[in-house]
Amino acid sequence: MSGVDQEFLRNLKEKVNIVEVAESYISLEKRGGSYWACCPFHHEKTPSFAINEANQYYHCFGCGASGDVIKFVCEMESVDFIEGVKMLADRAKIPMPKQEDDNGRTAELKRKKDTVLKILNDCAHFYLDNLNSGKADAHIEYILSRKIPANIVRSFGLGASLNYTDLPKFLLAKGYSKQDILDSGTVNEVDGRLTDAQGGRLIYPIINSYDEVIGFGGRVLKKTNFAKYVNTRDTIVFTKRKNLYNINLLKKLKRAQTIREVIMVEGYMDTISLYQAGFKNVVASMGTSLTQDQARLIKRYTDTVLISYDGDAAGQKANLRGLDILKEEGLNVRVVPLPEGLDPDDVIKKMGNEAYRQCLDSAMPLIDYKIDVLKKGFDLTRTEDKRKFVAEAIKIINTAESNAEKEELLKKLRAMSGISFESLRRDLENQPREKAAKVAEQPTQRTDNADAIKLASRFVVSSFLFGADYVKDVDISEIEFADPVHEIIARYVRSKKLMEEDIHLSELFEFFDENTPEYEELSYILDYSEGAGFSGEVSRKYFSDCLIKLREHALDLKIKEESKKLEQCADLADRARIGETIVELTRQKQKIKNGVK
């Protein structure tokens, strides 16, 4: 958090509500005093992720992820602390303060990013002006051939590059430095000359969820030895594997309605064609293999994704790993069957909107799709191929999450292969059990190897933090904690009590650096916020027992320390004095054991 005024941060967190922020990323359900969801940071089916609105923090009881609203945004957006603060400040409409940083490196990074975004925005307008200049006949002809109406052209900001030279001249005339222009990814340097990286192509601006142009895709208009489509290379603001085409319009759609599912296509034209046909819940992977970052991006909008890639048998097999990545991130993945050799745009143009709707309605679970793709690689009229197919299909079926699903898939395999259900079932039962364990549900409550002292310390500090009625007459400053995390929290509680201020749990995250053992220990303490129970005789008795355990432990440490001094001491008088101290400490410990205060 260095470089940002602490008073500004506290003011910012007062202005933004973590529940409202979180609801723009995940679906929340209110239960009791908390809001619950399936954790966005690990795969689970039973919600264990809770947001405490009163104290403005989140905590997952499954994986331990914890933090305040700033950390939540940083994690969801995959940005650093400063960028997360800026996003929240923009949301709250409050100006960022000037910040002191590490010798100006942060300020230079921000300047570079802002400049690159400005260059990209100017490029988008430049390409748009070209399209409307009367000089882009080939581009207009292509748009008309694909039957893209003017309103859709405007919605997606399509543009035209007329040649390789005009864009660099335009950007230099705007006053941008050569290095900043190159760093934007819009221009290449060839033999010392600057050239438009999308020279001569139809331009598709790539826009992020904040309506910022971050890159471009370009399509050639005539047959050439060059690639048909080219994307902006990775830059300070654009990484293809972390982005999805049309995510900006998907975000606007989510504001207007609940998104039950997202359609995932491969390219720009498929996206535009489906959007034009009324299927506005569509994004494109821009030809890249699907990644974990893209899966997490989709999860901000829905839990179900319909994969609508080209109906090409060769490409289907190559896509399976990407679909597994989506599944591993907790998405419900269904695959849309398309006629062989057709892409979504073809189906819309040749067969109509209703035909594509029927394709969507026929979307199959990922595991069924895997079996269908597998089948295409074998000739089932040949005995050897049939045996190999069945053996591989059984392995796939073994990963199903329920016995009912396995039974359905075995029936499907029986119909494909002609082998009896009982034979297939026996083969499945002979599969190694560990293979099915890969998809086992993660535990909803984590555990660690904490010893009795640490567990007692956690319950004691939790009792103070969460307002147990039995702590009113206990002075936390008199309790000796062995772990520095518990000691820091104890000092925080005491300072609040002295100043007669309320405890705000979100402030605790300011005391510990992320990804440290101290931060992890804080997350274990927060596990007590739900279900531990801080009232009643059972909790009161357990709290008392924990105090006794901690006092005994503190005395044991002192006795051990004095005994060590005694071993090293040669002076008789000093040895006698140390011995008396040990006797007194032992007496105090015995009194505690006997229940004497």
Tell me the backbone φ, ψ of residue 391, rounded to 5 degrees: -60, -45
- Other C-beta atoms closer than 10 Å to the C-beta of 358 total 13
Which parts of the chain have pLDDT scores under 70?
A: 1-3, 99-106, 288, 311-319, 433-449, 530-533, 594-597
pTM: 0.67
Tokens standing for residue 521: 């220990």
CB–CB of 214/114 below 8 Å? no
Give one DSSP letter per residue of 448-514, joined into a string: ----HHHHHHHHHHHHHHTT-GGGTT--GGG---SSHHHHHHHHHHHHHHHTT----GGGGGGSS-T
Coil, strand or helix at 233: coil
pLDDT of 217: 96
Give the per-residue pLDDT at 443: 37
Q: What is the pLDDT of residues 489-528, one digit of tens each?
A: 999 889 988 888 888 888 888 888 877 888 888 888 888 8
Of 164, 165, 152, 161, the residue nearest 127 (C-alpha): 161
Residue 420 makes CB contacts below 8 A (sequence gap 6+) with 414
- Cα separation, 364 vs 45, in Å, equals 20
Task: Collect all residues with Cβ–Cβ distance below 8 Å to 59 and sequence separation of at least 6.
Answer: 49, 50, 52, 65, 66, 523, 526, 527, 529
DSSP secondary structure letter of residue 37: E
Instruction: Report d(CA 279, CA 370) in Å as an integer.
Output: 26
Residue 33, classed as helix, strand or coil, is coil
pLDDT of residue 418: 92
E-state strands within 38-84: 49-52, 57-60, 66-67
Residue with tokens 């432990």: 553
DSSP 8-state code for residue 199:
T
- In order, the DSSP letters of 334-380 are EE----TT--HHHHHHHH-HHHHHHHHHT-EEHHHHHHHHHHTTS-T
* Buried-exposed string 582-593: b where 16+ CB fall within 10 A, e elsewhere: beebeebbeeee
Q: Tell me how far apart the 2 most distant CA atoms of the chain are, in Å.
A: 105
User: Are 328 and 320 in contact, with CB atoms under 8 Å apart?
Assistant: no
